[in-house]
Amino acid sequence: MNLFNRTSTPISKSTALREDDRHRPAQPLLSADVIAPLTVGILVLVLWEIAVRVTHMPPYLLPGPLLVAQTLVSDWNTLFPSLLITLQITIVAFIAAVVSGLLVAILFTQSKWIERSLFPYAVILQTTPIVAIAPLIILWVRRVVPDESSTFVSLVICAWIVAFFPILSNTTLGLKSADHNLANLFQLYKASPWQTLRYLRLPSAMPYFLGGLRISGGLALIGAVVAEFVAGTGGTRSGIAYQILISSFNLQIPRMFAALVMTTALGVAIFLLLTLLSDQILRNWHESAVKREN
């Protein structure tokens, strides 16, 4: 058992931070990485507002940023509850994708025959347009779950399909990327498959797995919104996509832009949250999270 306590040390030492990296102060908030994109964004908004005012563009064609901001404030009580519905679908689908993707990836690494038999179908599932199969999923789920929760379940399944493959492919690649010398050492000491998975393959796959999380989080939101477009659900349980559809049908373009801004902000927030989680997990041992001076 001492072998497995020692084998985690070479992996950590090979990618550990130097002492000066550990004690280096955090990057200031107003750094070039923050100021540069903010400056570009503010410049684009200013030019957008000027162009709309100079050309006298009608709001039903292209509203200005100020009008979009005013609409966002005035319609907040309607748009925000819909955004929360979409967020619920995204979170449930994302959790399901994480759990299923990790388990299937582990299963693939334990058996070559299982991987060769099932991985092509995972690729087919990923490459099939969700817009094409979403109506079928909605109909099938309603036959199995004939109540109000059927729509929510079908939307979660659609979002899960979109978010599943990045976690599966990244984690599978990470589990196969363990150091071959260490793998031979584990085999030499007659380590069981579970011990090799726990002490070698899973730590080696962690950066790949977390990279898949960042991709999957945004895709889960995209899948939820696309599924809501196809489902066309309304009422109190309608998501943000329904608000976008209704606004476009009624030519309430400023309201549609406000809903789009909220959806985009949610996607950015999900990505930043998962990026911070990845940095917190990897910062003390993996090179991808090491902040080094140029």
Q: What is the CATH number of the domain that holds 56?
A: 1.10.3720.10
Does some domain include residue 5? no
pLDDT at 8: 44
CA 126/CA 121 separation, integer angstroms: 9
Q: How far apart are CA 40 and CA 5, in angstroms?
A: 50
With 90 as the cut, is the pLDDT of residue 263 above it?
A: yes
Higher-confidence residue: 39 or 30?
Answer: 39
191 occurs within a structural domain: yes
Q: Is residue 49 part of a domain?
A: yes
What is the C-alpha separation between 103 and 168, in angstroms, rounded? Answer: 9
pLDDT at 30 over 70: no
Residue 4 lies in a domain: no
Domain count across the chain:
1
pLDDT digits (tens, 9 = 90+) for 86-98: 999 999 999 999 9
Residue pLDDT, tens place only, 69-123 = 999 999 999 899 999 999 999 999 999 999 999 999 989 888 888 888 888 888 8
For range 219-225, the mean pLDDT:
92
The pTM of the full predicted model, rounded to 2 decimals, is 0.81
The rounded Cα 170 to chain-centroid distance in angstroms is: 13
Residue 103 in domain: yes
> Reduced to 3 states, what is the DSSP secondary structure of residue 28?
coil
Q: Which range of residues forms the domain containing residue 219?
A: 10-289
Q: Is it the case that residue 10 has pLDDT exceeding 50?
A: no
pLDDT of 172 > 80? The answer is yes
The more confident residue out of 33 and 270 is: 270
Selected residue with higher pLDDT from 233 and 205: 205
Contacts of 172 (CB under 8 A, 6+ apart): 105, 108, 109, 115, 119
Top pLDDT among 83 and 38 is at 83
What is the C-alpha separation between 89 and 152, in angstroms, rounded?
7
**Domain assignment present for 3:** no
Q: Give the integer Cα–Cα distance in Å for 43 and 257.
A: 19
